[in-house]
Homo-oligomer: A and B are copies of this chain.
Amino acid sequence: MAAPTKTKADPQSTRDRILDHSVQLASAEGLESLTIGRLATDLGLSKSGLFGHFGSKEELQLATIDLGSEIFARTVIVPALGEPAGAPRLSKLIYNFLDYLEQSTFEGGCFWGSVSAEFDNRPGPIRDSIQQKLGHWLDVLREQAAAAGAEDPEQMTFELHSIVQGANSAYQLFGDPEVFNRARVTLARMLPDG
């Protein structure tokens, strides 16, 4: 019985297919334009069938944030853990971040860039989740800045993150890929190992 039995042993569950599409859509058009009807149409499902996998729209949005965050971690953070702590790992983290933008891992650029501006000012579980997960990324950055001997790790974290996000939004709005190289110039000046 090697052949998949159609439902249970699917290589990718329906829920995963939904979230894969959902995370791309959210990065491109925001978490609010994730409508159940549109997702269902795009994936050839019924609204009620899709809905049943989550139970509410908010659950769908939270699950989407979870996946977006996981993809970010897998693409940017994990591959940097092979580097020694401190300056080398810090550099790798930042340049991975830039690569992830440049390679358009998400249709709409940085997942955080799209989603955090949207829920900045709307208290609730969604904002809380974004705060916590994006905060974790900043924690990782700050730890490595500290290990690299930065005199003010918090300051350095702010600067590095701002430059990368600046490159993202400039690229998204104006479409000039040259901003990534501009960001590299600035980052090389900021990072402890040049």
**Pairwise interchain contact B166-A158, C-beta atoms closer than 8 A:** yes
The answer to whether B165 touches A169, judged by C-beta atoms less than 8 angstroms apart, is yes
A173 CB within 8 Å of chain B = yes
Task: Say whether A117 faces chain B, with CB atoms less than 8 Å apart.
Answer: yes
Q: Which residues of chain B are within 8 angstroms of A127 by Cβ–Cβ distance? A: 173
Q: Which of A7-15, A36-44, A61-69, A128-136 contacts B (4 or more CB under 8 A)?
A: A128-136
Q: Is the CB of B186 within 8 A of A155?
A: yes
Query: Which positions in A face B, CB cutoff 8 Å?
Result: 28-30, 32-33, 107-109, 113-114, 116-118, 120-122, 127, 130-131, 134-135, 154-155, 158-159, 161-163, 165-167, 169-170, 172-174, 179, 182-183, 185-186
Min distance, Cβ A185 to any Cβ of chain B, angstroms: 6
CA distance A121 to B26 in the complex (A): 11
Q: Which residues of B contact A170 (CB under 8 A)?
A: 158, 161-162
Query: In chain B, what residue has the closest Cβ to A135?
Result: B174
How many monomers of this protein are in the complex? 2
- Cα of A167 to Cα of B161 in the assembled complex, Å: 10
Q: Which of chain B's residues have a CB closer than 8 A to the CB of A120?
A: 108-109, 114, 169, 172-173
Contact A166 B155 (CB under 8 A): no
Q: Which B residues lie within 8 Å of A121 (CB)?
A: 28-29, 107-109, 172
**Given contacts A174-B135, A182-B158, A186-B155, is CB(A117)–CB(B28) below 8 Å?**
no
- Partner of A167 from B30, B109, B130, B162 at Cβ < 8 Å: B162
A73 to B134, CA, bound (A): 32
Q: Do B172 and A166 have beta carbons less than 8 Å apart?
A: no
Q: Select A29's contact among B122, B159, B183, beta carbons within 8 Å.
A: B122
How many Å lie between the Cα of A185 and that of B155 in the bound state?
9
- Residue picked from A107, A122, A158, A162, most chain B C-beta under 10 Å: A162
